[in-house]
């Protein structure tokens, strides 16, 4: 069954909550599924064999405990982003079919995703027995978190990280490593609003794609996407199966534990 779904805007401590629940609720009857609708994550799981979060490190998950047919369905569906910008697929693809498959499993599925929030109202109605953990961070703190990440991805930020890697004692004899650093430094980065699914959800709501990829455009996409998210959070706040947690700079363990106890106890806010 689809037991818990952490569905929130990126940079709202979703991975921290996922890891907290992993430590708190993990047993043989639970399946922890990490970002099944975020294409970058599924690519990393299938092709790289692991997912590394920039703040939480290597992510533990149970993707390979899922039935093979469901794994294939998730992998094929993750290609939705390639078609969505060409108007050949809807946002998040065939998400309902996958969620229904989760709900049919004998284990308790605990899932985290940063794309599905666009459908949160619909999902809360469709999956009345699922507990939705919805995290809402004050926008100014959210923006700071995004800009910290944004700055690290600019040429200046990549140069700084490359110098730090070399200073950590990488032997100059390791030519391959040095070449990789240089390749990383001078590679043409993906437009930054593509990351975290921001561009896709922006198109979902606005039906347009910004052509530039500068800081001003990034902040515009971020603010308008967040405003859409805030409206959805307000709408689901009255649902008994939605646990909305608001916070500022940091999310306290106490707030997470309160929600966990509500869920384990059966449920009402």
Percent of the chain whose pLDDT exceeds 70: 82
* Number of structural domains the chain divides into: 2
CATH number at residue 80: 3.40.50
Q: Tell me which residue range forms the domain holding 148.
A: 142-189
Q: Are 120 and 134 in contact (CB under 8 A)?
A: yes
Same domain? For 241 and 165 the reply is no
Q: Which of 49, 18, 21, 46 is nearest to 34 (CA)?
A: 18
| Joined tokens for residue 164 | 């730090």
pTM of the model: 0.86
Q: Which residues contact 15 (CB under 8 A, 6 or more apart)?
A: 53, 55, 56, 59, 112
Tokens of 13: 């401590």
Q: Let me know whether 25 and 71 are in one domain.
A: yes
- My answer on whether 103 and 174 are in the same domain is no
**Tens digit of pLDDT for each residue in 214-269?**
888 889 999 999 999 999 999 999 999 999 999 999 999 999 999 999 998 874 44
67 Ramachandran zone, left/alpha/beta (phi>0; psi -120 to 50): beta
Together in a domain, 243 and 184: no
CB 69 within 8 A of CB 97: no
Average pLDDT, the chain: 87
With vertex at residue 213, the alpha carbon angle to CA 90 and CA 199, rounded to the nearest 5 degrees, is: 20
């Amino acid at each position: 069954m689809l037991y818990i779904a952490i569905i929130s805007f990126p940079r709202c401590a979703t991975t921290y909550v996922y890891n907290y629940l992993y430590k708190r609720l993990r047993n043989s009857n639970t399946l922890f599924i990490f970002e099944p609708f975020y294409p970058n994550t599924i690519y990393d799981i299938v092709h790289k064999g692991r997912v590394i979060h920039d703040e939480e490190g290597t992510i533990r998950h149970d993707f390979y405990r899922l039935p093979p047919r469901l794994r294939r369905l998730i992998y094929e569906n993750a290609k939705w982003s390639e078609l969505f910008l060409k108007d050949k697929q809807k946002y998040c693809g065939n998400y309902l079919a996958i969620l229904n498959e989760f709900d049919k499993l004998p284990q308790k599925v605990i899932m985290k995703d940063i794309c599905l929030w666009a459908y949160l109202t619909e999902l809360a109605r469709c999956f009345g027995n699922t507990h939705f953990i919805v995290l809402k961070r004050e926008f100014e703190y959210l923006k700071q978190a995004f800009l910290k990440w944004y700055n690290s991805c600019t040429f200046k930020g990549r140069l700084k990280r490359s110098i730090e890697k070399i200073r950590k004692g990488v032997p100059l004899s390791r030519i391959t490593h040095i070449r990789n650093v240089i390749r990383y430094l001078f590679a043409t980065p993906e437009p930054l609003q593509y990351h975290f699914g921001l561009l896709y959800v922006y198109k979902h709501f606005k039906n347009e794609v910004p052509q530039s990829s500068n800081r001003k455009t990034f902040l515009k996409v971020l603010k308008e996407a967040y405003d859409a998210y805030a409206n959805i959070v307000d709408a689901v706040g009255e649902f008994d199966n939605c646990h909305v947690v608001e916070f500022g700079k940091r999310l306290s363990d106490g707030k997470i534990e309160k929600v966990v106890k509500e869920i384990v106890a059966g449920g009402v806010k």
